[in-house]
Amino acid sequence: MSTNPSTPPKSDRELLRHTLATLAYRGAKAIGGAPANFSSFNAGAGTRTPGQILAHIGDLFDWAASIAEGNQKWREAAVGAWEADAARFFAALERLDKILASNAPLGCSIDALFQAPVADALTHVGQISILRRLAGNPVRAENYFVADIVSGRVGPSQSPPREF
């Protein structure tokens, strides 16, 4: 990550890839290390469980990849085991990242990809983090400005947090 203001600007694809890496980094923090019963934690009437949210994030990125490939398709998957849905999330991020890393033409604009599935997923990762706190197992705070987030690193293995 560069915090140098003289660094050349990223292309739209590069910036969206960095956004995906950021989402993977934050997602790994929110998803990893959750208690065994966290998937079914219910914060109250009318709220989704963390498992429902994680499954929805997987749906979002399957959808995003289909849009990027020019074959838009929505499929709502059933909630699975927490570990399986986490693996699905990271695999779907990787699929979209590979599409963006290629020179293949996209089936939609970068703006549309960001404003729909990616922005929605950012919201939902935040919801999982909030639910972790409500469930008594908060995500450790860190300084995300100096976090080691690298485009293309979209799997569950992420750098350790940097201190404030």
| Residue 5 pLDDT grade (very low, low, confident, very high; cuts 50, 70, 90) | low
Mean pLDDT of 137-146: 92
Tell the residue number behind the tokens 């929805």, with chain if given. 56
Domain boundaries, the chain: 12-34+51-146
**Of 3-12, 29-38, 65-74, 129-138, which gets the smallest average pLDDT?**
3-12
Q: Residues 26-85: pLDDT tens digits? A: 999 999 999 889 999 999 999 999 999 999 999 999 999 999 999 999 999 999 999 999
Predicted local distance difference test score (pLDDT) of residue 1: 47
Angle between helix axes 119-134 and 12-31 (nearest 10 degrees) is 20
pTM of the full structure? 0.91
